[in-house]
Each structure stands twice: as C-alpha cells, then as structure tokens.
Structure 1
C-alpha cells in the first residue's frame, strides 16, 4: 500500500482551542472549519473541537457537511448566502448569516419571521478598508438601525487586513471605524478578531473571536513560530520511501534535469507529490525529516513522488522508512516559507489522497 498519510492529533486541537480560551476568556469562540477544516477534514475537526461555542464556515455547503455529522452547534456563514433559496435552507438548518450587500438584506427582511423564529442572530459585515465584502460607513449604520428596528439580534463583524503586522497604519483606521459604528449602534455585539488579532489586540476580543490557523497548529505571523505562541502541532504529514538509488557525480535527477549530483550520492524516492498537496515550486532548500534527522530535496517534486539526498545514512533508511513532510520536526510554516507562501495555503491544498488517521 502507498504510504502517504495525515495523522490528526486530537489532543493538540483541543489544546489549541484551550489556548484561544486562555487568551480571550470573556469572548465566545467561533472555530473556523472552512475549507475542510484547513485540510484536516471537517468531521475530524468538529469532533475534536467539541468545546467550541460555534463553528464558522465560508458557505452553506460546508455548513451542511457539519449538519450531516449530526452536530447541532451554532454555525455562522461568513460569506452569507448566495441565493434566497440558500437562505431558506440556512434557516431550516439553523445557520446564522453574515450580510454584506443589499440583496442579502432584502432576502433577510423578506423572511424575517422564519429567521427570527429560528432564534438566529444576523451578522452585519463592515467594510473598513479591506474592500472585499461589507457595507461602508455610514451605510452600515443605517442597515443596523433598520435591522434593530425590525427586532433582529445583530452582531457587528469586521475582518482585519493586517492583523499580523501590528504597526501597519491600516489597522488603526479599521479599528477607528469599528469603534465608531459600535458606539453609534449600541447596544450591539461585536466580532473582529482572527488568530493574529487574538494575540495582538486583546482589547478587541469583544463578544466573539474567530480563530482559524492557530487551531491547526500553525502561526499567523512571519516572525513568531507556532511553538512560540503556545500552540501544538495538530497534523503530521508523512509518506514512505519507495526506492533508493545510487547516483554518480554528474548524473541528473527529476523533471527538467535541474538537479545535478556534484559527487556520488544516494537518493531516496518518497511516495508523495503535488497530487497529494505537497508543494512543487520551492524557492530555497526544503527539508524533510527521518527519525528527527533533516534531509534536503534533490530535484523537482513531481505529481506522485519526490527525491531526497540520504547520502551517509544508507544503513538507516530503507524502502518503507517513514518520512515526515511536516509535523513535529519540520513545521508547515517552514515548508510554506521555502515555497514563498503561507501555511494556510499548504493545509488547504491537501488532497483527499493521503489517508487521514485520528490519534487521540
């Protein structure tokens, strides 16, 4: 059997959730499980995150995947619904909606009675300068007043563009707008903190925090590791050695023949590639780990295989030897940085081909 697996550490997920609760003890925690729970698998994640106050997803389809497991915790659709029909389904499944444009507002008002009878809050998105979704000031104030006049339970929501860079001037501009809208619309619940903001802006935790990447044991910061943040690794991504080849000086390895051996070396072929979600386009040397020892890539990653230089360790590595791609010894953030991207992307790119294994 091809050895490519993702071991999900349930206890680490639970530890990371408790870390959120330590940092934001007065706020409710909406655990983001969108994009298949950042690659872990939504069913795996929600079982581990049973102490969450609610779950957050991008769309109704993701919410329905949660409901299909029999889980009845509150769910927030952070992009709202995409049609009036979706709104009716969201009401039936007791999913709370963000609204960020007028059409969604009209649908909500048209189905006011059903939405309110379901006991659902409505989240109103402030566009404070990120310019993706939301109502700008002063339009959002009018929307909130309109909804409050109709007896909706409202939550003011905002998303930081640069929460991971506390000195960025955009942060204060966004905060000023949020606090202005909050003051004008009091009383109102508020949510604005993602993982980075949970760390950097404790004074802005308000009523709900929305952790994502920190739950999955990766860092939202370029200059602070997950370990530095008190987080534990939730995923160990491994594959197996398929074959070992001796390569003479001057011989080439892999597509494009870019890797040329400078001396006689030993190459291990590993059963993993971009077809599994492992990145191909590394910009600086990338390493894997075998028994805690780091080994460098040798040649391009292909769809189903990669090659690594194991020279000097031939007596310790054999077909079937387990290779850690990221996990305890190699962080996903390190692999991401070497590929010019972020840990979020690598986790979300994981395909269904690697087997998921749950470890308590």
Structure 2
C-alpha cells in the first residue's frame, strides 16, 4: 500500500498554544482554524486547541463543521456572513460576525434582538491599509457609534499588511490609525494581532489575539525560524522509498531530462508528488530528510514520484522519507519553492493518509 502520510502531533500543537498564552497572558485567544486548520485537518486539531477561548474561521461552512464536531466555544466568522439568511444561521449557532461593509451592518441591525440576546459580540473591521475588507477611518467611527446605540457589544479589529516585515512604514501608520480609532470609540474591545504581531508587539495584544500559522509550528517571518520563536512543527509529511536505482555520470533523471549526473549516483524513488500537494516548481535546491540526514531532490517532481540522491546513505525499500516535519521544516521547503509555509500546508491533497499522534 502506498505510504504517503500526514501525521499531526497534538502535543506540539498544545505546546504552541501555550506559547501564545505566554506571549499574550491577558488576552483571550481566538485560534485560527480556517482552511481546514491550515491544511492540518480541523478534526485532528480541535482537541489539542480545546483550551482556546474561541476559534476563527473564514466562512459559515467552516464554523458549522466545528459545531458538528461537538465544540461549543465561540466562533468568529472573520469575513462575516455572505447573505441575510446566513446571519440567521450564525445567530442560531452562536457565531460572532465580523462586519466590513454596510450591507452586513444592515443585516445585523435587522436581527439585532436575536443577536444581542445570544450575548454575541460584533467585530467591526477597520481598513487601515490592507485594502481588502473593512471600513475606512472616516466612516468606521460612525458605524461603531450606530452599533453601540443599537445595543451591540463591539470589537474594533484590523489586520496588518506587513507585520512580518521589520521597519515597513505602513506598520506604524496602521498602528497609529488603529489606536486613534480605539481612543475615539472607547470604551471598546480591540483585536489586531495575528501571529507575527503577537511575536513582535506585545503592547498591541489588547483583548483578543488571533494566532494562526504559529499554532501549527511554522514561522510568519522569512528571517526567523521556528527554533528562534520557540515553536514546534505540528505536521510531519512522510513517504517511503519504492525503488532504488544507480546511474552513471552523464545520465539524466526525470521529465525534461533537466538533471544530468556529474558522477555515479545512487537514487531512491519516493512515492510522493504534486498529486499529493508536494510542490513542483523549485527555484532552489530542495532536500528531504532520511534517518536524520538531508538528501537532495534531483530531477523534476512528478505527479506521484520524486527522485532523491542517496549516494553514501544506507537505505532500503520502505525506508521512510520526511518531506517536511521535524528535521526538514516546511518553511525551508517553501523557501526553496519560492513561496511560504502557509501555502504548502494548505494545498495538500486528500490522497496522503492522515493520522494523529
């Protein structure tokens, strides 16, 4: 049987959640589990994240899955609802809504008695420079005042565009605008910290923090590793060697014959490929881990297989290969692929088997 496997380490996930608690001891934690818990599998992660104060998701369908799995924590819909009918379902299920455009505010006010009766907070999003969702500074104060006058308990929220980039000028601009709006609307609850901001700006933790990628043991920063941040990788992605070959100098490997051996080599063929979600377009040399040692990937990644150079290593058919996990971090694979760890984690296919430690 093909042995491509995704294993989720529940203890590492709990460790990372506790790390958030250390960094933001006075804030409530809204653990982000959108996109199937960043590709890790919601059903495999929620038990380890059960001490979160709330969960954050992108849409109603993701929130309903949390309830179906038996979890009763508050859930925040970070994009809000997409129709008035969804607002009614959200209220029934005790989901809290972000509002970022006037139609959502109208739907909310139309059902205010039911919303307020459930003691649900409404998260009002400021567009302070991300320019995706939210109200601009010249309109959000009036929106918040209107909602307060209608009896809603409001949370002022925003999202940093460059929290992962040191000294980006927009960071200070966003901070200052958020603080000015917060002061103008007080008393009001506040939330602006994602993973990168939690790690960089403890003074901005306020009432709620929204950790995402750091929970799963990947770094939000290009220049700081998970070891630097005291985080543990949660996902181990592995496969097995299914064939062993030897080639001579001058022979090529894989589609397009782009890799040509400069010396005699021993190759291992591993049962993994882009059909499983393993990336294909490597811009730099990539590696896998075998028995704690790094071994280079050679030739193009195919849909179902890769070739690795195992010259000098003692391997056999069935030897496990770590594509990313404890020894080869997903962030390093992502850098070689010209992308970020978030993308690799989220785009895994359903073909690899899944298990939980």
- Whether the TM-score (by the shorter chain) exceeds 0.5 is yes
Q: Is the 8 A contact 1:237 1:327 kept in 2?
A: yes
Matching residue of 1:75: 75
Q: Is the 8 A contact 1:84 1:107 kept in 2?
A: yes
> Scaled by the length of structure 2, what TM-score is found?
0.99
Counterparts of 1:73-152 in structure 2, within 5 Å, are 73-152=73-152
1:245 Cα deviation from its structure 2 partner: 1.1
Identify unmatched segments of 5+ residues in structure 1.
Answer: none
Distance across 2 between alignment mates of 1:85 and 1:306? 48
Matching residue of 2:333: 335
Matching residue of 2:348: 350
Q: Deviations over 1:198-239 (max 9, x none)?
A: 011111000000000000001111111011101011111100
1:58 Cα deviation from its structure 2 partner: 0.6
Distance across 1 between alignment mates of 2:180 and 2:311? 62
1:160 Cα deviation from its structure 2 partner: 0.3
The runs of at least 4 consecutive aligned structure 1 residues that moved more than 2 Å come to none
> Scaled by the length of structure 1, what TM-score is found?
0.98
Identify unmatched segments of 5+ residues in structure 2.
Answer: none
Matching residue of 1:321: 319
Distance across 1 between alignment mates of 2:15 and 2:312? 38
Matching residue of 1:244: 244
Farther off after superposition, 282-291 or 256-265: 256-265
1:114 Cα deviation from its structure 2 partner: 1.2
Distance across 2 between alignment mates of 1:57 and 1:355? 24
Farther off after superposition, 257-266 or 146-155: 257-266
Distance across 2 between alignment mates of 1:346 and 1:213? 12
1:166 Cα deviation from its structure 2 partner: 3.3
Counterparts of 1:47-86 in structure 2, within 5 Å, are 47-86=47-86
SS in 2 for 1:246: strand
Q: Is the 8 A contact 1:267 1:309 kept in 2?
A: yes
Q: Is the 8 A contact 1:166 1:200 kept in 2?
A: no
Distance across 2 between alignment mates of 1:119 and 1:254? 60
Matching residue of 1:266: 266
Matching residue of 2:191: 191
Q: Deviations over 1:177-200 (max 9, x none)?
A: 101110110000000000000011
- Matched residue count: 357
Distance across 1 between alignment mates of 2:113 and 2:302? 55
Whether 1:207 and 2:213 are equivalent positions in the alignment is no
Matching residue of 1:253: 253
SS in 1 for 2:133: coil
SS in 1 for 2:87: helix
